[in-house]
Amino acid sequence: MERIAVGLAITAVAILVARWATTPRVAAVVQRVESALQTRWMAATTGLVTAAIVWWCWGSIRQVPYAQDERAYVLQASIFAARHWTTLSPPLPQFFEQMHVLVSPTVAAKYPPGHSLILALGAWLGLPGLGPLALSAMAGTMVFVVARRLAGPWVALLTWSIWVTEGANIVWRASYFSETTTAALWLLAWWALLEWRRHHQSWAMALLGAVCGWGAITRPLTMLVFAVPAAAVVLVDVYRRRAWRDVVPGLVAGAACLAIIPIWSAHTTGDWRVTPLAQYTREYIPWDRPGFGYDSTPPLRALPPDLHAVADYFVAMHRAHSGSAVAFALAARIIDVAREFFQGWRAVLAVFVLVGLTSVTADVVVGLTTAGLLMLAYLTYAHARGWTLYYLELLPIPAFLAARGIWKCVNRGSTARAAVAVLLLLIVGAWCSVTGLEAARATRISRTNYAQDFTQRLAGLDSGKVLIFVRYGPRHPMHFSLVGNAPDLATARAWIAYDRGPENRQLMSQAPGRSAYLYDEETRTFSPVPDSGGAPPQAPTR
């Protein structure tokens, strides 16, 4: 509250200062700043600053994945980094079953490969966070560039500032979730569409097709939502000009990306017509599909005991997500997104969004339509309250509308005066946003503590190659997991498997030369398994 009060005081000063900001000297300074905002260097700077904020929030470029989804993406990226589509199934796969991962007859993540392919370079360099940081940098640059194209440099600077200081936006970007890819691709595709409409050059159409195609092999539903209005704009344009050949580069580039899916499927499931997602869903979670209500089709394989709680949690959501609850779900999700975006002092931005809506252009209408379609598309899928990650792609829209509204309010005949007001308001916004960004950093770091603690304790074992049996406690957090697979079990320092009691001996016989330990989640300690060559028990550390 103190920070907000100071911010309001600075705002009042900004308004007073802006009143005399019409002297020739001030006008000359504003002109130089505006010229700088028009450069490529400024666009690149917004991207670099975005990546730096995400890095700071995340805490490390080598941060361990914490959620089940993240771990699946990082595993697949490591497999791709080793130049393989899949890796060998582990001995006794029931010890290594992992959420969102196929473990037999090969090991691969269920998700389409687009996001993991982008993460693969970072995985190969031993810097797994490099991919999300690069994607955030691209998104930051594109937010600025697209807004500058639509409404000028000052609105662009405001748009980027509002967007990059939104806490939930930064929290979700500091992760390995695939939305970091599609959010960047949406912005890049918007820019490509604007470039094509302006110049009608083949490279812009090819880029648009490639971006849409790559998005389709990352998050198909999310990219379909973008492709529909974009395709409508393109088709209307080429119809008016009778220039149907213009779409060929886009179709070719998009088809080239989509061709990866049957190849990926053939290597993973053995059938180019069956995707890993379809196979995993059929084997483990047949109820986890778009639609309304609960699909009672029995799974072909049973989930491990610790994942039953996850299944029960999602099954309850699917049961409740009936057709009669759609209107409530839509309202609740809009409220959740709005609550995060307009949290705290940012509530005042809602007024400027309304002002911005009073003067939208056709290009902005396309963005609004796309945002609305995204909300409607995910109505077909049950998810928890507060899970706003699915709507990461639409956050630049309210940021742009708020910036447009602010500029409309301050630009009353004197560009110099309006520019000074914007610069001072940016200082106010940065000051007030510090608390929110600090909270975002604390949230993100707290989410990784569970996996980070285990990783550090594992690294402290004196043994060479080890086999760890994980025994979960009664308070095990159901969305987190320690058991997992490695891109190459033969060379992996640690095998992390389920504790299956007497059956553990069977896996130990398949792991000669590895010291076996039992990890007790409740006490967070490692104990050597007899006759395995493990070191003496270690004292509990907390």
pLDDT tens across the length of the chain (542 residues): 555 555 556 555 555 555 555 567 777 877 888 888 999 999 999 999 999 999 999 988 999 998 899 999 999 999 999 999 999 999 999 999 999 999 988 999 999 999 999 999 999 999 999 999 999 999 999 999 999 999 999 999 999 999 999 988 999 999 999 999 999 999 999 999 999 999 899 999 999 999 999 999 999 999 999 999 999 999 999 999 998 999 999 999 999 999 999 999 999 999 999 999 999 999 998 888 888 888 888 888 877 777 778 888 888 888 888 877 888 999 999 999 999 999 888 998 999 999 999 888 888 888 999 999 999 999 999 888 889 999 999 999 999 999 999 998 888 766 777 888 788 788 888 888 888 888 888 988 888 888 888 999 998 887 789 999 999 988 888 888 899 999 999 899 999 999 999 999 999 999 988 999 999 999 999 999 986 555 443 433 33
Environment class of 197 (CB within 10 Å of its CB; exposed 0-12, middle 13-18, buried 19+): middle
217 falls within a domain: yes
Under a CB-based contact definition with an 8 Å cutoff, are residues 181 and 118 in contact? yes
- C-alpha–C-alpha distance, residues 135 and 113, integer Å: 16
Instruction: Tell me, yes or no, whether 495 lies in a domain.
Output: yes
| Total number of domains constituting the chain | 2
**Of the candidates 258, 282, 307, which is a domain's last residue?**
258
Residue 488 within any structural domain of the chain = yes
- Is 321 within the bounds of a domain? no
Position 518 in a domain? yes
Closest by CA to 388, choosing from 341, 347, 429, is 341
Helix (H) or strand (E) run with residue 416 in it: helix 415-459
**Contacts for 116-119 with beta carbons within 8 Å, 24 or more apart?**
116/73, 116/74, 116/76, 116/77, 116/79, 116/80, 117/77, 117/80, 118/181, 119/73, 119/74, 119/77, 119/80, 119/176
Q: Are 384 and 336 in contact (CB under 8 A)?
A: no
The CA distances from residue 360 to 15, 326, 408, 432, 442, in Å, are: 26, 29, 12, 28, 37
pLDDT in tens, 328-387: 999 999 999 999 999 888 998 999 999 999 888 888 888 999 999 999 999 999 888 889
E strands, 363-471, are 466-471
Q: Which of 258, 289, 307 is the last residue in one of the domains? A: 258
Domain that residue 236 falls in = 178-258
User: Is position 486 within any domain?
Assistant: yes
Asked whether the beta carbons of 216 and 223 are under 8 A apart, the reply is: yes
Q: What is the pTM of this model?
A: 0.91
Examine the fold and report which residue of 205, 225, 258 is the final residue of a domain before the chain moves on. 258
